[in-house]
Amino acid sequence: MGKSDKFEARRESLAESTLAIMGKKGYAHTSMRDIAAEAGVSLGTLHYYFVDKSELLTFCIKTFKRAFIQKVMGNCEAAHSLKDLITAFCEVCSESMVTDYREHRVWFDIRSQALYEPIFIPLRVEIEKELEEMFRTFIVAGEQLSGHAATMKTDAVGWMFEGLFEIELFNFIKSGNAAQAKERMEYGSRELCDQLFHLT
């Protein structure tokens, strides 16, 4: 592994520690010192890899959300029937909501912070565009497999799905019941997909 690869690997490791603690405490209540302690490094070491908290958070969000998006899109491309497509989409999203709930929690936190802190506006815009492309890929795949045009536009699907995801994420954090949370998220997602592709 080259020097640049080691540098990036270290940044990714620090990002994991950041998401872990920020998923518990939130952006406003997490300091660089807290992150350094979680990662088991000195504050100086953390600042060597990231200038400040906003740079670190930007790296964290981009890394996590892009991995999530790629996983969803990969499953969409692998589906050979509309049923398989919908099942893969719903299962990936409901599973990630539970297993990666801290990371998703940080995303919704930073998305809200963009309303108050201009430094996060470009990040929110960039990630929302990538999410929109994810939904577009899913919709196009569904149209091709079903032979029908979708009943909603991409942006409307994104708004509805993100709203559902945030509500069910909140319900999971509140209840701690993973099985129930996955079931509710998958049910809601399937209902949305059924409407989207004329299945109801």
Distance CA(181)–CA(79), nearest Å, equals 25
- Number of continuous H segments (helices) and E segments (strands) in the chain: 9, 0
Domain count, the chain: 1
6 in a structural domain: no
Q: What is the mean pLDDT of the chain?
A: 93
Q: What is the pTM of this model?
A: 0.90
Confidence of residue 127 (pLDDT cuts 50, 70, 90): very high
20 in a structural domain: no
pLDDT tens digits, one per residue of 70-81 = 999 898 888 899
In this structure, what CATH number is given to the domain that contains residue 182?
1.10.357.10
27 in a structural domain: no
Cα R_g (the chain), whole angstroms: 18
13 in a structural domain: no
Provide the residue range defining the domain that includes 149.
Answer: 53-196
DSSP conformation class of 40: T
